[in-house]
Amino acid sequence: MTTLTQRLTLLHERMQTACTASNRKLDGVQLIGVSKFQPAESVADAHELGLTDFGENYLQEAAEKIRCLESKHLTWHFIGSIQSNKTKVIAESFDWVHTVDRIKIARRLSSQCPQGKVLNILLQVNIDHDANKGGASPEECIDLVKQMSNLPNLRLRGLMVILSQETDPRVGYETVAQLHAELKSALNPEFAAAWDTLSMGMTGDLEHAIAAGATMIRVGTALFGPRE
């Protein structure tokens, strides 16, 4: 049986090789352990090995783990699709929300964010116009970014993407990186300073994402093994 330690070692090697190949520093790529369908004990084990950031897709499942692991002060990322009646729980429980794709959702997160808390958000872009998943179309992004950056209690940090199976990751991730740069230059300087995050790349394609400039990769299988 492969252990978590072995899988993490292999994963770090993949990340290091990818960084070296594109002349990047390993510490410029934040690893997010995607812990959906994994028990809280596995998250605790990964934390023992040095991981601090975890991603969850399903609120009920996440809420339990977050409560259970509260004393460890982990950083939690919401990476699932957002129903508007769930924004309050998301704003209360998570540090980052990667899947914001409508102004209505951003406004609700902003108004329901607990006092004194700053919620980091990413705009999810649907770069390949895939009707089966969320994300704003690339054409919508500029208006959304301008509106979202002005909302109180939120800090708009950049873009997130999930590529379609059919999209060549070498092309898809480069396209998102280019859009990320264009949007940054359209922002006011005060907001452009916080626009520093590109969340892209998973178990199957993280090398391509790192080559294109990902600053966060979201990895489940390569870290925790196959999901039930």
Ligand X SMILES: *Cc1c(COP(=O)(O)O)cnc(C)c1O
- Position among 34, 97, 113, 159 found at the interface with ligand X (CB under 6 A): 34
CA distance 98 to 100: 6
Here the tokens at position 169 are: 């990751």
Q: How many CA atoms lie within 13 A of 155 on its CB side?
A: 15
H helix intervals, 125-201: 141-148, 169-186, 189-192
- Position among 29, 162, 176, 179 found at the interface with ligand X (CB under 6 A): 162
Question: Would you count residue 7 as binding ligand X (CB under 6 A)?
Answer: no
What's the closest the beta carbon of residue 159 comes to ligand X, in angstroms? 13
CB-based contact 147:104 (threshold 8 Å): no
Which CB, 82 or 193, lies closer to ligand X? 82
Which CB, 61 or 146, lies closer to ligand X? 61
Cross-strand pairs, 85:
none
Which CB, 2 or 71, lies closer to ligand X? 2
CA distances for 121 relative to 19, 24, 176, angstroms: 25, 24, 17
What's the closest the beta carbon of residue 207 comes to ligand X, in angstroms? 13
CB-based contact 32:223 (threshold 8 Å): no
CA distance 175 to 213: 11
In this structure, what are the phi and psi dihedrals at residue 204, rounded to the nearest 5 degrees?
-80, -20
Our measurement of the distance from residue 124's CA atom to the centroid of its chain's CA atoms, rounded to an integer in Å, reads 9
Stretch of residues binding ligand X (CB under 6 A), selected from 41-49, 132-140, 184-192, 216-224: 216-224
Which CB, 4 or 142, lies closer to ligand X? 4
Task: Return the residue nearest ligand X (CB atom).
Answer: 220
Binding mask 44-83 for ligand X (x = CB under 6 A): -------------x---------------------x----
Binding mask 169-208 for ligand X (x = CB under 6 A): ---------------------------------xxx----
Q: How many residues bind ligand X (CB under 6 A)?
A: 13
Contacts with ligand X by CB under 6 A lie at 34, 36, 57, 79, 162, 202-204, 218-222
